Amino acid sequence: MLASMETIDATASWIAIAAIVYRFETRSELARTHLSMTLIPGVDSREFEFTREDFDYLRRIVTETTGIVSSEDKYTMYYSRLARRLRALGLTDFKAYRDYLQRNPESESIELVNSVTTNLTSFFRENRHFEFLRGSFIDEVKARGNRRLRIWSAGCSTGEEPYSIAMSLAEAIPDYRSWDIKILASDLDSNVVAKAASGVYDEARVDGLDPQYLKKYFHRGTGSNDGFVRVKPEILNLITFRQLNLLHSWPFSDIMDCIFCRNVVIYFDKPTKNKLVERYAQQLVPNGYLFMGHSESLYKSTDSFKLLGKTIYQKVA
Ligand SMILES: C[S@@+](CC[C@H](N)C(=O)[O-])C[C@H]1O[C@@H](n2cnc3c(N)ncnc32)[C@H](O)[C@@H]1O
């Protein structure tokens, strides 16, 4: 049973703990990466033998499937994430895993990709984009007298991004229920799409969120749901979730007002990224907006967009 959220413990302590944990994980990941470079693949003391040939084979399949290019330093990450998969399948080495992958290419390439992709995200990540959405963007839409909005969160991970979009619209448009608003949220990874569609989050994920937003847009779990929050239906219902590989065809006809594709193309090679960006231009209304991640740039990649600042791009009409 989920009760309305009355009180929120929005102290900074969780943020501090999360930051410490993040730094610790980053450091230990770096330490492991360094270690992997000093080990000779195949003769180290790992549970499973993981040769360079295994690594190259698996990362090639990931690139072919997703466009994601995995650099040399992903060796340890591949090993640690896929070792879990080997244990789950009861396999004894990576040679057996490659055989398994060849026998089950459809289903296992999805598992492989799910294992090695990075799904890091958070509510209101890179908040300047949501400020823009609530401010200039909605002002423009209202000035046009438009009450129809189509927004795509492409590479939505576990859903924090599309829910942040939906909450921003609800804040900026008091009568949003009478508007025609549809947000499409898609990701390659079927597991994260399922998690996103559930709208349920550990309370720690929403720590640091504006308490007013928590109160307005989430229910807090009680009993067996204690420690979790759930997005309220009026926000959830604005969003359609879909598993979708951005490199494949897009089975929808909506032309978008905005596309969020943040922290996704950073893993793609340049031709794949450029091609995707041109497809985004085709999928946007004239003067529509494309939001990229803070370290992603379209510099010299396209003539179809101009940079407005803060990794916000506008389609050149
Ligand atoms: C780091 S997360 C970014 C999540 C969110 N956009 C944000 O900025 O917080 C990157 C997401 O892109 C997805 N992704 C990577 N390659 C993709 C592809 N070819 N098609 C669709 N999604 C992809 C991954 O599964 C992952 O969930």
pLDDT digits (tens, 9 = 90+) for 191-232: 999 999 999 999 999 998 999 999 999 999 999 999 999 999
Are 55 and 200 within one domain?
no
CA 77 – ligand 1 centroid, Å: 17
Domain contains 204: yes
Mean pLDDT of 277-286: 97
Domain contains 88: yes
Q: Tell me, what's the pLDDT at 44?
A: 53
- Average pLDDT value for the chain: 86
Mean pLDDT of 253-271: 94
Are 157 and 289 within one domain?
yes
Are 147 and 112 within one domain?
no
Asked whether the predicted pLDDT for residue 30 surpasses 80, the reply is no
Are 100 and 147 within one domain?
no
CA 36 – ligand 1 centroid, Å: 26
Domain contains 51: yes
For the residues of 122-159, what is the DSSP string, one character each? -TTTTTHHHHHIIIIIHHHHHHTT--EEEEEEET-TTT
pLDDT in tens, 294-317: 989 898 889 999 999 989 999 997
Poorest-pLDDT segment among 35-39, 45-49, 217-221: 35-39
Which two three-digit tokens encode residue 58? Answer: 């698996």
| 79 phi, psi to nearest 5 deg | -60, -55
Q: Which atom of ligand 1 is nearest to the CA of 68?
A: 16
Note whether 229 and 221 are within 8 A (CB). Answer: yes
Domain contains 26: no
Are 153 and 94 within one domain?
no
Are 203 and 287 within one domain?
yes
Asked whether the predicted pLDDT for residue 27 surpasses 60, the reply is no
Q: Tell me, what's the pLDDT at 125?
A: 96
- Ligand 1 pocket check for 263: Cβ under 6 Å: yes
CA angle 102–103–109, rounded 5-degree value: 55
Q: Tell me, what's the pLDDT at 16?
A: 33
Total residue count of the chain as it appears in this document: 317
Domain contains 29: no
Are 244 and 149 within one domain?
yes
Domain's final residue, options 56, 87, 116: 116
| 3-state SS class at 151 | strand
Name the domain count of the chain.
Answer: 2
CA 203 – ligand 1 centroid, Å: 23
The CATH number assigned to the domain holding 75 equals 1.10.155.10
Q: Confidence class of residue 25 from pLDDT cuts 50, 70 and 90?
A: very low
Are 52 and 89 within one domain?
yes
Which domain does 145 fall in, by range? 128-315
Strands (E), the chain: 2-4, 148-154, 180-187, 200-202, 218-221, 228-231, 239-243, 256-261, 284-292, 305-309, 312-315
Asked whether the predicted pLDDT for residue 158 surpasses 80, the reply is yes
- Ligand 1 pocket check for 193: Cβ under 6 Å: no
Are 168 and 305 within one domain?
yes
Domain contains 252: yes
Are 67 and 216 within one domain?
no
Domain's final residue, options 58, 91, 116: 116
| 3-state SS class at 245 | coil
Amino acid at the residue 269: D
Percent pLDDT > 90 in the chain is 72
Pocket residue to mutate for ligand 1, from 110, 157, 160, 245, most atoms within 8 A of Cβ:
157
- Ligand 1 pocket check for 192: Cβ under 6 Å: yes
Asked whether the predicted pLDDT for residue 31 surpasses 50, the reply is no
Q: Is 230 a catalytic residue?
A: no
Mean pLDDT of 99-107: 93
Which two three-digit tokens encode residue 153? Answer: 């969160």
CA 158 – ligand 1 centroid, Å: 9
Report the nearest-CA residue for atom 27 of ligand 1: 157
Q: Is 187 a catalytic residue?
A: yes
Are 95 and 235 within one domain?
no
Are 144 and 270 within one domain?
yes
